[in-house]
A and B are shown apart, each in its own frame.
Chain A
């Protein structure tokens, strides 16, 4: 158990509304990641963070922003949700000190945009 929680676990929202997903970790890991998972695609990286206030884009970052004001929290915001952002969102961390840099995932947030 990597000590990662995500909230909310399920959300239904309407097109055009802002949505913020939260990832919380308890073990002071430096690196945190947001992925989305859709049928027919592998998990795809949205944004990642390598420290407080240090973030960068992944391969599918359009329409998403992130913030990390504390080590333990990594927030993903959809400024104006669209139906194409209906997906399952996973947060992940890299275990510091791991020689293979494995990533460990939170339980996911299932988001539906109507």
Chain B
């Protein structure tokens, strides 16, 4: 079983739609959680950190369920520019720094 699992998609949605991505993680010692966005042939860019109580940043809402080891990302009013791959990332703090484990990503295509 992968440490971080995501549905690879692609999710094809019309502009203006609401879309949700889910992610599960296997290591209960994971301490921090993130969503990154990666455009084709570009570096991953931090979209948002996921707080224990859930958090919202504009059209984006992230939720964490530690009991179920589950993270979600909701995108409202999708824009063409939201088309990208969304990476779920979990972190464990170690003595030598933080260890990130990446999911393989969920591809989103927003269409006219």
Listed in ascending order, the chain A residues whose CB lies under 8 Å from chain B are: 31, 33, 40-45, 48, 50, 56, 90, 94, 100-108, 110
Interface band, chain B: 20 to 34
Within 8 A of A (CB), among B13-62: 32, 34, 41-46, 49
Which of chain B's residues have a CB closer than 8 A to the CB of A42?
4, 87, 101-105
* In the complex, B80 has a CB within 8 A of chain A: no
B3 to chain A: closest residue by CB: A42
A90: which B residues are within 8 A, CB to CB?
43-44
Find out whether the CB atom of B46 lies under 8 angstroms from the CB atom of A108: no
Separation of A103 and B99 alpha carbons in the complex (Å): 10
Q: How far is the CA of A51 from the CA of B22 in the complex (A)?
A: 36
Asked if A40 contacts B104 (CB within 8 A), the reply is: yes
Distance from B90 Cβ to chain A, minimum over Cβ atoms (Å): 10
Shortest Cβ distance from A101 into B: residue: B98
A42-B101, A42-B103, A103-B100 given. 5 additional CB < 8 A pairs? A31-B97, A45-B100, A90-B43, A90-B44, A110-B41
Contact string against A for B residues 52-82, beta-carbon threshold 8 Å, 1 for contact and 0 otherwise: 0000000000000000000000000000000
Q: Are A104 and B46 CB-contacts (below 8 A) given A42-B104, A42-B105?
A: yes
Measured in the bound complex, the distance between the Cα atoms of B100 and A94 in whole Å is 11
Contact A101–B44 (Cβ < 8 Å): no
